[in-house]
Structure 1
């Protein structure tokens, strides 16, 4: 079977699936913006495409999103057309269509089956929009219209796709009927062989100090430090947490950009905005125990989770982060927000402690309680890992389901 993956940052969510398909003898290729030259990765032939330059033109602000997607779709189409000229015809196209690249590919290959990675359908109204009163929608009357236009790309893809796959029920349920019935809920998978508790783990700080399970380590992880993932709530809780836990070392992972939601004021970062807000309430001696690590290599990230006594995870009602499940697989004791995507996979006082997203005091209360209760930490950590192994294990649960999904996709009627 010939399988073509489309992802602007390949492999992304297809890291394991693409590799296994290639390992099992299928001809696997990928079109992506991530590389500039043709390359091979885990048996997958990776082909670049580049966005075509465009002249200046005026576009309505509500149409900028679609304009960007059509630009990418045209560029990806032109690269795919060269592949077709070389006599390549895929049986299956699997696309993370969120950036629009795959929009015109079945115009080239009408006999190919297309499967979509369905990350999110944009919904107006609370809690999907306006969840955080600190960042209200600009115009409550017109915002549903703007959001409806953001979904044009989704609807155009629905017309050319045979099936979808989504990591969580929360994400899949944002999509409307009739396409929702074509979406299989299958998580990307957690490598529970690599992500395990390790009593001997060490995490080395920049000053050379090595933290271990003997240290009181609190961890907080975002791709980027921003309000969508509760960075502002966490930072406002930090002064009290440091006061109450004079031995705690707080490790913060995340970049300074914006992955989701509103951009900060020009020339500023959300990271620094909330540092500036709370720094005056934190003595220098306490601030020395706060470590902003930026983005770190994956092996260091795993070590960080393995030395964590309490891991904090906050999110808007949005796409669930891999880091929550990775921390659970490492038997970290979790304090998380009781938002809908978290509630799908975590049960209060069974696999984590849950708090209201906006309640910084409750976040500190639960963190302190767990830091003082080794038995509760161990119980929650074991149960968290058991849940991940039972429901999200890469090799035993998710990959077999993904492979079955690809087989069914290849056999789907056009």
Structure 2
């Protein structure tokens, strides 16, 4: 088959599926903004496309998000037309619609079967929109209208996709029933043969020191350090945590940008805002045990999880991070927020500990309790890894299910463009 992948940051969620399909003998091509020149990656021909239009002035703020997606969709449409005119006609298109690129692809190839990665439907009910009152928009009742309009992209893609895939039940469950009927819940998969516990791990820190499993290491990981992933809660817990654990080293991974949610005040970062908030309550000797590592290479990240004595993961009701499952696969003892996405990953007292997202004292209590109880840490870690191996292993579970999903997509009759 001829298979076209669409992802603005390819391979993204297709880093295992695309090479597997290429290895199986399919002709795989990808369109992406990530590269500037054509290249071949693991058997996949990766082709660039560029944005041709800038966002116009005067766009209503409620539809800025959709305007950006249409701009990308237009650019991807033109690239697809060029590909079509050169003779490429995919049997299957597999794409992530989150940035809009896939919006017009059925207009280019009406006979192709299209499978979409349904990551999240934006909910405006109080449990989601009002989850963290501290960071609620100051636009009052109109904020729920803006959030509802963010689903314009999802709604347009309803008639684009023949089938859908979503990595977790929580994420699939955010979509309305008509979408849910199309969606198969299949996780991207964790390479549990690579992400393993390592009692001999050594991690070098930027200050020249190093940590091993003999050290009391607490880890916290975000793509970017921001409220959506509970960075503010963790930072506010640090003064007490460092005081109660005088030998602990805290390793924090994450960038200074914003992946989700509101931006910080102009010229500032969420990272520095909450450092400034708590620094005056942390004596310098204690602060020297806090290490901000920024963004780190993947192998370094795995070593960080392997050296962790307790790993903290916090999130709003939102997309569940790969890093949580990777920490579990490395047999880390997890303390996580008792929020909806965690329900299918962590069973309290069995393979991790759950605390109220906003309760910093409870967070400290749970972390300190685990640091004092090596037997409990070991049990939680073993059970966490078993849960990942049994439910999310890449080679034995997730990739075969993804390949089966592709087979079902191939057997379908293609849809038609709808209004």
Question: What is the TM-score when the length of structure 1 is the normalising length?
Answer: 0.99
Question: Residues 231-269 of structure 1: CA distance to partner in whole angstroms, max 9, x if unpaired?
Answer: 000000000000000000100000000000010000000
Report what 1:363 is aligned to: 363
Q: Is contact 2:53–2:71 with CA below 8 Å preserved after alignment?
A: no
Whether 2:72 is the aligned partner of 1:72: answer yes
Q: Alpha carbons of 1:313 and 1:359: their partners in 2 closer, same or farther (altered >3 Å)?
A: same
Number of the residue aligned with 1:107: 107
Other-structure match for 2:216? 216
Where does residue 4 of structure 2 map in the other structure?
4
Which residue number corresponds to residue 26 of structure 2?
Answer: 26
Q: How does 1:87-236 map to 2 (within 5 A)?
A: 87-236=87-236
**Shift, 1:345, TM fit:** 1.4
Q: What's the offset of the Cα at 1:55?
A: 7.4
Would the aligned equivalents of 2:221 and 2:254 in 1 still touch at CA under 8 Å?
yes
Matched, 1:246 2:246: yes
d(CA) in 2 for partners of 1:180, 1:202: 45
CA distance in 2, matches of 1:75, 1:55: 13
Find the aligned partners of 2:136 and 2:148 in 1 and give their Cα distance.
Answer: 18
Deviations 1:46-74 (A, max 9, x none): 00010003474421111111111111011
Correspondence list, 1:336-355, <5 A: 336-355=336-355
* 2:379 matched residue in structure 1: 379
Q: CA deviation at 1:140?
A: 4.0
SS at match of 1:250: strand
- Gapped runs of 5+ residues in structure 2? 415-419
C-alpha distance in structure 1 between counterparts of 2:76 and 2:173, whole Å: 29
Rounded Cα–Cα distance in structure 2 between residues aligned with 1:84 and 1:53: 22
Instruction: Give 1:407's aligned residue.
Output: 407
8 Å CA contact retained: 1:17, 1:399:
yes
C-alpha displacement at 1:207, in angstroms?
2.4
CA contact (8 A) 2:191 2:395 kept: yes
For residue 268 of structure 1, what is the aligned residue in structure 2?
268
Q: Deviations over 1:100-131 (max 9, x none)?
A: 00111110100001111000001102222110
CA RMSD, 1 decimal: 0.9
Counterpart of 1:281 in 2: which secondary structure?
coil
Provide the rounded CA distance (Å) in 2 between the counterparts of 1:11 and 1:54. Answer: 25
Is the CA contact 2:55–2:67 (under 8 Å) kept in the aligned structure 1? no
> Is the contact between residue 130 and residue 137 of structure 1 (CA under 8 Å) also seen in structure 2?
no
Give runs of aligned pairs for residues 307-322 of structure 1, distance below 5 A: 307-322=307-322
Please state how far the C-alpha of 1:142 moved relative to its aligned partner. 2.0
Post-superposition Cα deviations, 1:79-107, rounded to whole Å, max 9, x if no partner, equal: 11111111000011111001000111110
1:45 aligned counterpart, secondary structure: strand
**Preserved contact between residue 55 and residue 68 of structure 2 (Cα < 8 Å):** no
Give distance in 2, aligned partners of 1:57 and 1:285. 50
Contact 2:55 2:71 in 1 (8 A): no
In 2, Cα distance between the equivalents of 1:55 and 1:400?
41
Measure, in 1, the Cα distance between the counterparts of 2:71 and 2:53. Answer: 9
**Partner Cα distance (2:409, 2:270) in 1:** 42
Judged with a 3 Å threshold, the aligned counterparts in structure 2 of structure 1 residues 7 and 55 are, in CA distance, closer, same or farther, namely closer
Quote the offset at 1:138 in angstroms.
2.8
Query: What does residue 398 of structure 1 align with?
Result: 398
Pair 279,106 (structure 1): closer, same or farther in 2 beyond 3 Å = same
Aligned residues: 414
Q: Deviations over 1:287-339 (max 9, x none)?
A: 10000000000010000000000000000000000010000000000000010
Q: Partners in 1 of 2:110 and 2:53 — Cα distance?
A: 28
Provide the residue aligned with 1:290 in structure 2: 290
Distance 1:377 1:172, change over 3 A: same
CA contact (8 A) 1:129 1:137 kept: no
How far did residue 147 of structure 1 move?
1.8
Following superposition, the deviation at residue 186 of structure 1 comes to 0.2
Q: Distance in 2 between matches of 1:95 and 1:207?
A: 42
Quick one: distance in 2 between partners of 1:73 and 1:222? 29
Following the alignment from structure 1 to structure 2, what is the Cα–Cα distance between the partners of residues 82 and 191? 36
SS at match of 2:52: coil
Deviations 1:24-66 (A, max 9, x none): 1111111000000001100000000100034744211111111
Q: 2:56 and 2:277 mapped to 1: Cα distance?
A: 40
